[in-house]
Copies of this chain bind each other. A is one copy, B any other.
Amino acid sequence: MTSAGFNEEESKSRRSSLDISHDALRDLSEQFVALVQNYYAGISQRPVFPHTTGEELERAFNEPPPLEGEPLEHLLGDCQKMIEGTRHNGHPRFFGYVASPSTPVGAFADLLASAVNPSVTSWRSAPSATQIERTVVRWLGSLIGFDEAAHGILTSGGSMANLTALLIAHRVKSGPQTASEGLWNDGAPMTVYASDQVHLSIPKAADILGLGHRHVRLLPTDDHFRLDIRALREAVESDKQNGLRPFCVIASAGTAASGAIDPLGEIAGVAREYDLWFHIDGAYGAPAAMVAEKRASFAGLAMADSISLDPHKWLYTPVDCGCLLFHDPTAARRAFVMEADYIKVHEQAEESFAFWDYGIELSRRFRALKVWLTLKYYGARRVADAIADDIAMAEYLAERVQAAEDFELLAPVELSICCFRYRPPRLRARLAAAKDHEERDRINSELNRLNERIMHDVQRSGRAYLSNAMLRGKFALRACIINFRTTRADIDITVEVVRAVAREIDIDESR
């Protein structure tokens, strides 16, 4: 690529600005807004999952780098192609993983954040954005009943929030030399405790931090998939007796597989007894603590040292926005401030505040704006009502499943996840008549294969979208409903889609 110097006439200006004319900006605004408005208007009519393949998209998008600019209409065509080729998480029958539709106010907040474009590193670099993020963090802590004066930091999601929490926990419980010396020859391994339902991001974080994922003890759960407190206590005791150093226990609220909420109050007791950092992974479930009827399930939440929750999940903001909350900012600073002055109290505390003292990122998007505007636009009550409705939808799906001859519910519905499987009458009868464990295992394997095919075919049908969970060896069709567009009619349609797909496969297989 070439670039010329300046000639005399241009000496006060520059050859290449990326600013565009008023008319070009108006065109750009109008066209993108039209695209977005049409997208919102038509989302329910689209197939949830696109009819496409990897090869087809590779052909469609794998161009060489564009050296010259293209006209706006080409770009809009490209954006249409992008939209045709994506999965629509905002479709009313999208129930996969833990992904929610975004609200319009959240999307326009992201436009404004990107136009003003602060990098929210510190007060000095982004005064109002920093203040707004600190306000939003306090709001979240208050709304879920964690702390009226919570501290914390917004992250790109639950994985980053959990990684940050585990790092803080470790640095608080390890000696002050760890940051500079590392874990090399630092003595016996330090160990983490969680249920076998804990999110994969926890062992992954232990691996990244050099703790080793083998040092995360994955403990058994009760019949509601909640951490077994006796097993927790035994594991901690046993590790201590073997010379290991237990330092952290992680509760899930709720689990990604079935939405189970661990017994938070009891875990807090064990944490206190053994001087463990108590972290709650509430990435998915914690916002449900805003719902009055659910508050009791979260009893003990405020006793945690830290909690993750994802506004881009159950507060319906656009991706990305996770959050880590904690009571004690000094603990967090200990993990991130390299100098010994991490407890120094500054005269003008607000103006010397920096998020890099509390987290891993330096450049940081203005994520708080979309949370701030979402809560202001709808009000927290209406958001909480939407959460309550999602829970009601999952309960309704469970009712439909339990009332059906050919479905089986595989986990209690604690929040908005319903795990079930198709179990045709012939296999139900064989299961009931099975003579031993081995025969049941064989039939369950058959059911697993069948339900995996069902999930795949339902996804590819474009009419509804379920993902899966493995629960005690059983392949579950899993509907996670954090979707403010879903109605009971959508649940009814989904049941019919699953049944129709299942029967087609089952007839095919039993031939």
Contacts and interface: CB of A to CB of B under 8 A. Distances in A.
Contact of A69 (B132, B163, B353, B379): B379
Interface in A34-65: 35-37, 39-41, 50, 52-55, 57-58, 60-65
A345 interface: no
A246 interface: no
Contact of A114 (B20, B58, B78, B107): B107
A interface bracket (residues with beta carbon within 8 Å of B): 35 or more
A128 B189 contact: no
Contact of A320 (B187, B293, B365): B365
A290 B1 CA distance: 6
B54 A351 contact: yes
B484 A203 contact: no
Interface string A67-104: 11110101100110111111111100000110101111
Interface stretch (A116-124, A247-255, A298-306, A431-439): A116-124
Contact of A61 (B29, B132, B189, B322): B132
A274 interface: no
Given A26-B37, A97-B125, A75 B114 contact: no
Contacts of A36: 29, 111-112, 115
A207 interface: yes
A400 interface: no
A114 to B, nearest CB: 3
A12 interface: yes
Interface in A397-418: none
B186 A206 contact: no
A292 B2 contact: yes
Contacts of A79: 112, 373
Given A29-B36, A128-B86, A16 B108 contact: no
A104 B115 contact: yes
Contact of A376 (B62, B70, B115): B70
B54 A25 contact: no
A179 B167 contact: no
A145 to B, nearest CB: 11
Q: How many copies does the complex hold?
A: 2
A18 B212 contact: no
Given A125-B96, A125-B97, A369-B82, A363 B159 contact: yes
Interface string A422-452: 0000000000000000000000000000000
Interface stretch (A264-272, A382-390, A469-477): A382-390
Contacts of A372: 78
A135 B85 contact: no
A213 interface: yes
Given A67-B379, A320-B365, 16 more contacts: A5-B392, A17-B485, A26-B37, A33-B33, A40-B115, A54-B351, A64-B142, A65-B139, A69-B379, A86-B116, A111-B114, A114-B370, A182-B189, A183-B186, A318-B365, A319-B364
21 contacts: A1-B385, A14-B389, A18-B103, A18-B378, A28-B108, A36-B115, A50-B127, A54-B349, A65-B375, A68-B381, A74-B376, A75-B377, A82-B132, A85-B131, A104-B115, A156-B361, A159-B360, A182-B207, A184-B186, A203-B338, A312-B363
Q: Which 9 A-B pairs have the closest CB atoms?
A: A210-B210, A54-B350, A182-B212, A85-B128, A157-B363, A3-B388, A114-B318, A16-B385, A111-B111
